[in-house]
Amino acid sequence: MSTMTKTDVTETIVAMARAARRSALALARSTSGERRAALHTIADAVDAASPDIVVANAMDLAAADEVGITGAMRNRLELDAGGVAKLAGAIREVADQPDPLGGIEDVQVRPNGLRVGRMRIPLGVVAMIYESRPNVTADAAALCLKAGNAVVLRGGSEAIHSNRAIAEAIRRGLAASALPTESVQLIGVTDRSAIDVLLQQEEWIDLVIPRGGEGLIRAVTEKSRIPVLQHYKGVCHVVLDATAPLERAVEIVHNAKVQRPGVCNAAETLLVHEGAAERLLPAVATRLSADGVELRGCPRTREILAEFDVAPATDEDWEAEYLDLVLAVRVVSDLEAAIAHIARYGSNHTEAIVSDDDDSIDAFVSAIQSSTVVVNASTRFADGGELGLGAEIGISTSKLHAYGPMGANELTTQKFVVVGQGQVRR
């Protein structure tokens, strides 16, 4: 593939984008039952292709070993027979979710007798650019099809064999369904120029979703002529209000930081009301230290936690997405100071408050403009599955179109449908 010329790459990508658009027009007219049945057929095809997918994954793992990829990165790449069975199961779950399409909402009759409503329709063609985990190939395809969209997938080169094998299975499933086979296409070209060409196909592609590190997302946003759904990072905060009960505070902070520190909805900064700091911080620090969490604190935090090994926090700590067992801790004068801190350093992902005071809770919910605001629970619930959306295609931290966890419903839009009896405008 590396011998393809620039013209070849361009022609390949444009042809794929156009085929996706053609498929999207057919998908928009498919029935709910057809989409559901197709997803079950695809799940069966993935199950049937399990041995091929595992062999392909072994090739990716061998390549990873050759270049020395280890630890979490290698784990994310690995896909055994059990993993493939989970993939198929996830596709079946999406298949059986409620259909997001077709309903007409907000119907009103205008004074001139026109009936106006809004009908939910697919976005059209989605391009998904992602790194590492090959299961995104199956998840993204399933969610896009559920919402009636065609999808062009571009996974990372480190998972290319796994992604090809999964995409091949999906296409076999599609070929045996009522939906167009080209509804799901994987870009097999690993040449990076393929992404540049893809991001210029605004005539055929409606939305780009980049999923991966901040570098990938920034690069896609800067180059794309197509609207991009951005998920930069999660600098999530837990705020302990003056009234926060001790045990609840400790459990929520611990869960938000420790349960899975490498994900975007894990807490990175703890803000504690001055009026509760001496009461709460020692117990919080004890619980976190027992799990090896490193604390970096403001001067007041270090004073209260003098018996703990708390490093001084700098401005960089307030901005940091550690994705690790590190927590920045700041004592704030009051709730307003906590809100101001989040407005300055937050990433519009998820912030939680622990409080027993209704006024504080109301002020927090009203003031915080992040995509998920949590009251008396862990930030770790900011997840499509946990919030009842079913599977999740990403988490948007920009406010346009969708904000927060995105499920199949967020891969749709609404058109106006206007029904008259011959009305003209005067």
- Residues engaged in binding a copy of itself (CB under 8 A): 25, 28-29, 108, 110, 114, 116, 119, 121-124, 206-207, 221-222, 225, 227-229, 248, 251-252, 254-256, 259, 343, 365-378, 380-382, 386-388, 398-401, 403-405, 413-426
Minimum distance of a copy of itself from residue 58's CB (angstroms): 32
Residue 376: count other Cβ atoms within 10 Å of its Cβ. Answer: 16
Closest by CA position to 216, among listed 147, 129, 289 = 129
Taking the complex as a whole, the smallest distance from the CB of residue 364 to a copy of itself amounts, in Å, to: 10
- Do residues 208 and 129 lie in contact, with contact meaning Cβ atoms separated by under 8 Å? yes
- The pairing of beta strand 404-406 with beta strand 394-396: antiparallel
Q: Is the CB of 122 or the CB of 173 nearer to a copy of itself?
A: 122
Q: Is the dihedral of CA 345, 370, 274, 330 positive or negative?
A: negative
312 or 420: whose CB is closer to a copy of itself? Answer: 420
**Reduced to 3 states, what is the DSSP secondary structure of residue 400?**
coil
Of the two residues 144 and 368, which places its CB atom closer to a copy of itself in the complex? 368
CB of 251 to a copy of itself, least distance (A): 5
Q: Which is nearer to a copy of itself, 222 or 307 (CB)?
A: 222
Nearer to a copy of itself among residue 181 and residue 221 (C-beta): 221
Is residue 125 within 8 A of residue 205, CB to CB? The reply is yes
Min dist. Cβ of residue 253 to a copy of itself (A): 10
- β-strand 404-406 against 125-130: which pairing, if any? unpaired
| Closest to 195 in 3D by CA, of 397, 25, 23, 12 | 12
For a copy of itself, give the closer residue by CB, 24 or 169.
24
Least gap, CB of 138 to a copy of itself (angstroms): 24
Distance CA 100, CA 123 (A): 12
Distance CA 112, CA 170 (A): 49
- Please, what is the minimum distance in Å from the beta carbon of residue 422 to a copy of itself? 4
Write down the least CB distance from residue 192 to a copy of itself, Å.
21
Return the amino acid letter for 116.
V
For 22-48, b/e burial (b = at least 16 CB within 10 A) is ebbeebeebeeeebbbbbbbbbbbbbe
- Residue nearer to a copy of itself on the CB measure, 53 or 395: 395
Whole-angstrom distance, CA of residue 239 vs CA of residue 378: 11
